[in-house]
Structure 1
């Protein structure tokens, strides 16, 4: 017997087994109706998902139609994973930090017929073109108000469930098509290896738009855990939620780890969550000392994963093992600082150039409307990560990044995109954008500039801010008389980065 694996399976089980349990605790200042004043049960979430699907039926959005949602973390976005994808449409969760032109590109490129926007981003309704537009909160009756039953969808595990746009080495982001099967298997493998259970209280420090919250909106739901929504990262607020909500699990970029550690210095009383909370980290691997501080200062379990949006994302996991108990805390932290061992069902290889290749059941189906990029990424039936690395006793270590993507605060930044914007300034003759090590952000977006005429660092940062999302804007500008190039004129970014990374434990070449 065989039937399709679809993302609605997770909410169906939660409704059946844990219907009266609180599913999500929303932010207190969010519009209440129909989300019951900030708390909803799994039964209510399932009802709202069906109402959302029925509303899309009434709008004439077909199976396979795209629905874009630009939102901070919220119970509405969490429910949309099921109300949209769970009934055969394709959810396009958009980074709320993007500029208006970037959002417009994604909506147009994905072919989204519906755009739903967070209350704080109301300006997008006027500035982004889309056939049907809704403001979450104000338009809730239209989005979630239907009393009809949604049209049945038999389900197809090979159908696209989400399109997640990611910045790469080109200026335009690529739309990563993740199928129901991709998302289902990523969630079950990640959830199992991270020990997700019905006793977990999960804090959404990670944006839900980011690789679908790494799959935790599915994994935690399927096991009946409680979702606690955090719209904006603040270290002290993270500690308060851990204390007040009994948080046991969160996923985070290195910048979030740094925020929690900073807040812990000024925290009055015992650090909440000690010996109870585990934090899963990905992005630029944190320094060994940071891992030690998470384990010592916070008393939280540190888990690291490695993956990409294209891999849904889990490829490897680094978690404390009994074999390491006799090691010193520093040596344990060094072990945990590796990308980790392959997750169940993942195969890794290192090609002759040192690039990390991966096979799994949750690698992307394709890049949306980009067959050339798809063919290159999946050549030879392996996903080509673009990262350089090696295997250390079976564990993956990322040694360098072959593609010039900067990971700052857990977000991908295309160096080419930033360079293009800076080159539009009349005073800039040449520019190279690189990532340099930073304890808080993992990598700091840095521009090395050869100027034609007088221009200041502040001038160029202000110029970039006009066109780029805030996290992409260079935090630092250095002026040079020349930039290292090959004989054919190609920038040698590994040489430009080398002095900054020479004394760092983590090497990005």
Structure 2
């Protein structure tokens, strides 16, 4: 039987079988059942149609992890419109670009961020402006709750095809204008199915929203948690004390945490010794940079949480690989080595690591190639950008999405990223993995956070430089000297890999999801050079 896979089916299922069960714990303390969640989504769907929003129109959402954001996801997609979440940490010029780029018809904004859109209101195509707590917003905005109160929960659900684009997620644009990643019903649905299996999501899960909902639709959890009938615990931001309190008070069983969030929780735990669980066991997923072994040990052995390292990108759903392979985790030491890897492909996903000619590298954990992937969760392409789409799917291997990450593969097929393709350090003709250097430096007791990038060198073309946030938080008196840091790497690494330069900083630049912006550090370091690539 051929039944189309459609995003609204997730809420449909939850309403049918879990209607009177708790669906949402709002950031303000309000609580909604799935029946109430669905009713509010229906009213929003009707309100948008009354304001002229049609199937295929783009509707932007600018909000933190609130019930308004969750309701908007389904209020938009139930009428076949395209959910377009925006990063609320951007500036008005960014919103102006994105709203024009995909010709947004309506926007739903949180009252704390609506002013950022109001600043560019006259230069964007938006016709409908809705905000939570609109009285707190300058300009002519309709109030979200009043709109729902004034609208009957009756709307027309159009005929939809699983190939229809249903969401556009903008990349962070670290190397140019952001690109709109187009995803269809089928891709979102299969990604939710796949991640539900690999993250062991079930109807009794209580999910804490620390990961931004705007980031690839919260890694698809706006769909998977809803469809399975779990409980969403919403937050307006990430505060370590609040996270531990929510885990205890709401019996949280699952959440996602960027490496920076894990560091925040570890620091708070060291200073305050909070309880780390409620009545439920806790699972946590992290992505991006591989967590240091010390972090994994503390999270699992002291907090009592199950930590999984997952991998992906905005263009891939995002999740395409996981380190959570239980058959390989039985040996204690091996488990920490494996959890630092990006892992093996998830169900229905093909991943290869290929050389410059597109040939798969051997599984020797030494030969470096670029990760390429194909699967149902991979994007349809970039919005109105066929050139970038073609480049992304055709560089080394035709028809595969190119991740831009360089990796090795071990005898078990486990990926281990060595660097971003553009970030690898080539010093005197030798390839140096910045991740290996960072992992080594994380073992130093006076290092809290670190990012290693290539620094220009007349002798070698490039040489490794470490930007370090000291453990005491004071870059002027970091408790360790640059020479001691250099000696530490010399003691633990081959001579050609030794960090040659060190700069202590208050903080590292990061994206909204906690990933270190190495490109920003590179631009700063290479400001006086003609290019960002050494000629060593």
Q: Using structure 1 for the length normalisation, give the TM-score.
A: 0.79
Q: Which of 163, 167, 182 lines up with 2:187 in the alignment?
A: 182
In the TM superposition, residue 263 of structure 1 has moved relative to its aligned partner by 1.5
Task: Give, in whole Å, the separation in 1 of the partners of 2:290 and 2:35.
Answer: 39
Task: Give, in whole Å, the separation in 2 of the partners of 1:217 and 1:362.
Answer: 15
1:313 corresponds to: 318
For the residue of structure 1 that corresponds to 2:249, the secondary structure is: helix
Q: Which of 339, 344, 347 lines up with 2:347 in the alignment?
A: 344
CA contact (8 A) 1:275 1:300 kept: no
In the TM superposition, residue 248 of structure 1 has moved relative to its aligned partner by 0.3
Task: Give, in whole Å, the separation in 2 of the partners of 1:473 and 1:105.
Answer: 24
- 1:364-383 aligned within 5 A: 364-379=379-394, 380-383=398-401
For the residue of structure 2 that corresponds to 1:231, the secondary structure is: coil
Are residue 144 (structure 1) and residue 144 (structure 2) matched? no
Task: Give, in whole Å, the separation in 2 of the partners of 1:118 and 1:435.
Answer: 38
Q: Which of 272, 281, 289 lines up with 2:286 in the alignment?
A: 281
In the TM superposition, residue 48 of structure 1 has moved relative to its aligned partner by 1.2
For the residue of structure 2 that corresponds to 1:289, the secondary structure is: helix
2:296 corresponds to: 291
Task: Give, in whole Å, the separation in 2 of the partners of 1:113 and 1:369.
Answer: 17
For the residue of structure 2 that corresponds to 1:120, the secondary structure is: coil
- 1:63-462 aligned within 5 A: 63-129=55-121, 130=124, 131-132=126-127, 133-138=129-134, 139-141=143-145, 143-145=147-149, 146-168=151-173, 170-268=175-273, 270-273=275-278, 276-319=281-324, 321-325=326-330, 327-328=331-332, 330-353=333-356, 354-379=369-394, 380-392=398-410, 393-403=412-422, 436=467
Task: Give, in whole Å, the separation in 1 of the partners of 2:518 and 2:311.
Answer: 25
Could you say if the C-alpha distance between residues 323 and 284 of structure 1 is closer, same or farther in structure 2, counting changes exceeding 3 Å?
closer
Task: Give, in whole Å, the separation in 2 of the partners of 1:342 and 1:478.
Answer: 33
For the residue of structure 1 that corresponds to 2:98, the secondary structure is: helix
Larger radius of gyration: 2
In the TM superposition, residue 241 of structure 1 has moved relative to its aligned partner by 0.5
Could you say if the C-alpha distance between residues 264 and 378 of structure 1 is closer, same or farther in structure 2, counting changes exceeding 3 Å?
same
Task: Give, in whole Å, the separation in 2 of the partners of 1:394 and 1:369.
Answer: 36
Task: Give, in whole Å, the separation in 2 of the partners of 1:47 and 1:72.
Answer: 21
In the TM superposition, residue 365 of structure 1 has moved relative to its aligned partner by 0.5
For the residue of structure 1 that corresponds to 2:335, the secondary structure is: helix
CA contact (8 A) 1:274 1:300 kept: no
In the TM superposition, residue 312 of structure 1 has moved relative to its aligned partner by 0.7
Residues 405-424 of structure 1 deviation map (CA, whole Å, 9 limit, x = unaligned)? 999xxxxxxx9xxxxxxxxx
For the residue of structure 1 that corresponds to 2:169, the secondary structure is: strand
In the TM superposition, residue 47 of structure 1 has moved relative to its aligned partner by 1.1
In the TM superposition, residue 128 of structure 1 has moved relative to its aligned partner by 2.4
2:3 corresponds to: 3
Task: Give, in whole Å, the separation in 2 of the partners of 1:494 and 1:186.
Answer: 42
Q: Which segments of 5 or more consecutive residues in structure 1 lack a partner in the other structure? A: 29-36, 408-414, 416-431, 441-456, 496-509
In the TM superposition, residue 261 of structure 1 has moved relative to its aligned partner by 1.3
Residues 291-339 of structure 1 deviation map (CA, whole Å, 9 limit, x = unaligned)? 11111121100011100010011110111514432x23x4311111100
In the TM superposition, residue 437 of structure 1 has moved relative to its aligned partner by 6.9
2:364 corresponds to: none
CA contact (8 A) 2:328 2:334 kept: no
1:491 corresponds to: 532
CA contact (8 A) 1:67 1:91 kept: yes
Task: Give, in whole Å, the separation in 2 of the partners of 1:375 and 1:162.
Answer: 20
Task: Give, in whole Å, the separation in 1 of the partners of 2:342 and 2:515.
Answer: 28
Residues 136-157 of structure 1 deviation map (CA, whole Å, 9 limit, x = unaligned)? 2331245433205111222211
2:441 corresponds to: none
Q: How many residue pairs end up in the alignment?
A: 436
CA contact (8 A) 2:404 2:420 kept: yes
RMSD: 3.4
CA contact (8 A) 1:23 1:45 kept: yes
Could you say if the C-alpha distance between residues 366 and 208 of structure 1 is closer, same or farther in structure 2, counting changes exceeding 3 Å?
same
Task: Give, in whole Å, the separation in 2 of the partners of 1:337 and 1:124.
Answer: 38
Q: Which segments of 5 or more consecutive residues in structure 2 lack a partner in the other structure? A: 135-142, 357-368, 425-433, 436-452, 454-462, 472-502
